Chains A and B, each alone.
Chain A
Amino acid sequence: MADLFESLIIIAPELILAITAMSLLMIGSFYQKKSINLIITISFLTLLILSFNELISNNIQAFAFNGFFIEDKLSSFAKFIIFLTSALSIIMSANWLRDYDKTAFEFPILILFSTLGMALMVSANDLVSLYLAIELQSLPLYVLATFNRNDSFSSESGVKYFILGALSSGLLLYGSSLIYGFTGTIFLNEISQLTLSSNQLGITFGLAFLLAGIVFKISAVPFHMWAPDVYQGAVTPVTSFFASVPKMAAMIILIRILYVPFDNFISSWSQIIIFVSFSSILLGSVVAIWQNNIKRLIAYSSIAHMGFATLALSTGNKSDIESILVYMVIYIVANIGFFSCLINIQNRIEKDINNISDLAGLSVNSPSLAISIALYMFSFAGIPPLAGFFAKYYVFISLINEGLIFLATFALIASVIGAFYYIRFVKVMFFDEVVDTKKITFSRSLGFINSICFIFILGFIFVQSITPLANIISNATLALN
């Protein structure tokens, strides 16, 4: 009984989140449209408080439910980012939701459920909880992808996402069952002790399937096909959510799977990771050149970014997790910043922005928006002194430290190719002939989010020097040692 009580304490944030989500679902289904402001406020505040709670939590390492669930610095840090980003996603969509039809209240609740799944995912400590958590985060995402029911693109994207997602879950389950079959346990830390004494080939086989399932979630090559269609079909606030939060969760579980149970298999999986990351960078950078649709372009860009982040995994050195975490944080902040601008424009002009050329002449009438977007684009391209440069810098330090100089060189050259499409945004907004545009100002909440992201990206040197961010990240890194 005492065990159960302790476990409940450890898992309390997730419980609160689950209870909040379910009560809000009740409120929503009774009051529908009238309750939208209430639901937005409560879900936002809950997530904000929970993220703050993770930030100050002091858990070194704690297990709940007999090792089903682990709470350590890495998962705390991941949850802090996940909760905070989800909270921001809800606020960013608030204006759009208020004008949406009567089912709008489902949106924050779906995000809450998905966030719950992600929180459990980063804390998963056995193969079953991992699978359950991944499904819990995916199912709301499928629904979110089709959120705009009247749009055939949206429905198509949702169905596509669902089918491919189900396939990846199947692969994941198959891999898990192989690993269970060959080691006889589902607990991640126990697997690591048994891997050497078990059938190597069978475990490698299972690991490959397991990886396939997770790589699908971070949309890296060769399991990236869904991303462009889903990003394009989904409504912009959903795309913004897709591009940021689930990636963080999937990346953390990828790190955990690779370094906890398969620590002894580095030589096997590092080849897979090198292939995945390098081909993601190459494909994401090259294919995006021909894209005109902003969301498709962001999809390819996120494929390339996931490639860069996983590149630091290929070294097989635990201390390089720090580079991945820094990369993910910077990527997410820039993403949130960019989408806050995009959503703001869409709210103000009251129609969708599809192509890059729709942004033409933005610099004349709405300089703050244009400069913000340009900054995020330069950051994505990795131009110093912006945060995006440091993200890449950390990764390349890791790579070169491990002697992977040629991989680093090729990845950097690919990033120059990628720079081409990022600076195309700048070209459209600043260089092109001005079309007739009206002045667009920031709404209060989006302007606030944008300015935080702007300061973070522009002044990353100061952020890293003054704030405890670097400290938190290096603590999170130590969790796996």
Chain B
Amino acid sequence: MINLPLLSILTFLPLIGLPFIIVGKIINAENYQNISKYIALFVSLITFLISLIILYNFDINTSDFQYNERFPIMSGLMTYRMGIDGISILFILLSTFLTPICIIASWNIISDRVDYYMCSFLILETLMIGTFCALDIVLFYLFFESVLIPMFVIIGVWGGERRVYSAFKFFLYTLLGSVLMLVAIIYIVLASGTTELPIIYDVFSIDHGIIQNLLWLAFFASFAVKMPMWPFHTWLPDAHVEAPTAGSVILAAILLKMGGYGFLRFSLPLLPDSSFYFSDFIFILSVIAIIYTSIVAYVQEDIKKLIAYSSVAHMGFVTMGIFTFNINGIQGGIFQMFSHGLISGALFLSVGVIYNRMHTRKIADYGGVVSVMPKFALFLMVFTLANIGLPGTTGFVGEFLTIMAIFSFNKVFAFFAASGVILSAVYGLWLYRKVIFEKITNDAVKSLKDLTLGEKVTLIPLLILIILFGIYPAPVLDLISVSSIGLVESINLSGGK
């Protein structure tokens, strides 16, 4: 169909921006900040365009991997194998779509070492796309783990007051999870004699027993930290709070999804029996995440922290959906990840809007914003309602599908999961009331200006997508359905289900 190695081009295109930014700084040292912004924006937009071309030529009627590229590298140690299916293309689009938005959102905010910042984001974009494209288990690990470096730098350099603590916590926490996964990966590679995932799917099989359970737990250690699932979530509020706005957006919208993607790509197809064996365990953790972190979110004084806890709660739906082993659950889980990517991104951008004006994240410092920023209030209302899961937004579709699947799996868990929807309304609406309504108590609020053009440019696309796919989710579901069905069918439980 197409001879160009489009996936490689897509993955490594953002890196092309780096030499231009460096050269720009050398030839025009005074105005390098603007130059690097424009270069980064331009490159990320081109990347987005290429991802659209890939989407245009994507065949949604097959669950096979498409756009395959393959050649052995490192003298046979691993294979450079890229390819996408319906699940990964969704996350690739999310990454390429959000990166330009993040760059625009940081346009006037970041003034310190702009060139480093833009380079970090471009590197991050490459690594994110690579993670979702890689079809070689080692190559996947390389991308998955390298993400730590730019994210560590983004939190540490441009973050808030406690940025060093948060960056270290983020780095070491995720690294600890990942090294355990590395052991499992090496075991699987040695057992199956290849590093290519599609071949491993065919040849790797292991009887259900202690080894499969240990392998599963090793993968779980990495993905549960990344997701993050309760009780491994404690790095997330810190990282979110201290990261700059765009960093929070990428963290919430893409990096968390790598955990769910990992469950779908590795745990479920490779270790099906253990996945089934541990599904109650996952359900219990997810239910605790949904209920406990929702309650924790309610008592937060910091806006970003509240949204971070709400992310943990929403990821609970994803893990529950994935581990129901049925098509609705898996589709719902994937859709919920996609929807949460849009919504949490939008929420963090909105917080960024008011934070840049007030330089405080304390809920108590706000109140009555609606009277000075009516347009902003409208945007935030839609995003908050979407976060709650109001019908007509993407949040509803994901939660509805997953709860439906959980209901057919286990009614008790479904009851608890559904209560999470109510709890999210409690803290979501509470936050909205405290920030947007009520009397103005803080004089600084009175002088706030409404949204600027740049802020509108970042928020409007998200608003449109959230409502569009909320009312008409079919395009997204079509994209993922064949692959999800393929995934469900490929899971052969030896014990039978």
Q: Chain A interface (Cβ within 8 Å of chain B)?
A: 363-364, 367, 378, 383-385, 389-390, 393, 396-397, 400-401, 405, 408-409, 412-413, 415-416, 419-420, 423, 426-427, 430-431, 461, 464-465, 470-471
Q: Kindly state whether residue B171 has any CB partner on chain A within 8 Å.
A: yes
B379 CB within 8 Å of chain A: no
Given A413-B179, A423-B168; 10 other pairs, CB 8 A cutoff: A383-B148, A389-B145, A397-B190, A400-B186, A400-B187, A408-B186, A409-B180, A416-B179, A419-B172, A426-B153
| Known contacts A385-B142, A400-B187; is-contact A427 B77 (Cβ 8 Å) | no
Whether B53 is near chain A, meaning CB under 8 Å from some CB there, is: no
> Is residue B27 contacting chain A, with contact meaning CB distance below 8 A?
no
The smallest C-beta distance from A447 to any residue of chain B, in angstroms, reads 16
Provide the bound-state CA to CA distance between A409 and B153, in Å.
27
**Residue numbers in A under 8 Å from B153 (CB-CB):** 426, 430
Chain B 120-161, CB-CB to A under 8 Å as 1, else 0, gives 000000000000000000100110011011001100110000
In the assembled complex, the Cα of A208 lies from the Cα of B286 at a distance in Å of 53
B464 close to A (CB within 8 Å): no
Identify which of A397, A409, A431, A464 gathers the most chain B CB atoms within 10 Å of its CB: A431
- On chain A, the residues within 8 Å of B156 by CB distance are 426-427, 430-431
Using A383-B149, A420-B168 as known contacts, say yes or no to A464 and B75 having CB atoms under 8 A apart. yes
* Contacts A401-B190, A426-B152; A409 near B73 (Cβ below 8 A): no
Residue in A364, A384, A397, A420 whose beta carbon sits within 8 Å of that of B145 in the complex: A384
Q: Are B176 and A471 in contact (CB under 8 A)?
A: no
Instruction: Return B156 CB to nearest CB of chain A, in Å.
Output: 4
- With the chains together, A419 CA to B156 CA distance in Å? 16
CB distance from B23 to the nearest CB of A (A): 14
> Are the CB atoms of B182 and A412 closer together than 8 Å?
yes
The residues of B that contact A419 with a CB separation of less than 8 Å are 171-172, 175
Contact assessment for B172 and A420 in the assembled complex, using a CB-CB cutoff below 8 Å: yes
B→A interface (CB under 8 Å): 73-75, 77, 113, 116, 138, 141-142, 145-146, 148-149, 152-153, 156-157, 163-164, 167-168, 171-172, 175-176, 179-180, 182-183, 186-187, 189-190
CB-defined contacts of A412 to chain B, threshold 8 Å: 179-180, 182-183
Residues of A within 8 A of B164 (CB): 427, 431
Q: How many A-B Cβ pairs are below 8 Å?
A: 87
Task: Contact check, A383 vs B167: say whether CB atoms are below 8 A apart.
Answer: no
Query: Are A396 and B186 in contact (CB-based, < 8 A)?
Result: yes
Measured in the bound complex, the distance between the Cα atoms of B141 and A389 in whole Å is 11
A-B contact pairs, 8 of them (CB 8 A): A363-B113, A390-B74, A412-B182, A413-B180, A415-B179, A416-B175, A423-B171, A430-B157
Known: A383-B146, A427-B156, A465-B75. A405 touches B183 (CB 8 A): yes
B182's contact among A385, A396, A401, A426, by CB below 8 Å, is which?
A396
Q: In whole angstroms, how far apart are the Cα atoms of A363 and B152 in the complex?
A: 15
A389: B residues at CB distance < 8 A:
142, 145
Kindly state the separation between the CA atoms of A459 and B91 in the bound complex, as whole angstroms: 27
Q: Which residue of A lies closest to B174 (CB)?
A: A416
Q: Is the CB of A471 within 8 A of B146?
A: no
Whether B74 contacts A465 by the Cβ 8 Å rule is yes
Closest Cβ neighbor of A471 among chain B residues: B75
Residue contact B74 to A461, C-beta cutoff 8 Å: yes
Question: Are A384 and B146 also in contact (CB < 8 A) when A427-B164, A430-B153 are?
Answer: yes
> Is the beta-carbon distance between A378 and B149 smaller than 8 angstroms?
yes
| B145 contacts across to A, CB distance below 8 A | 383-384, 389
Q: How far is the CB of B70 from chain A (nearest CB, A)?
A: 14
Closest 5 CB pairs of A and B: A412-B179, A470-B75, A384-B142, A465-B73, A431-B156
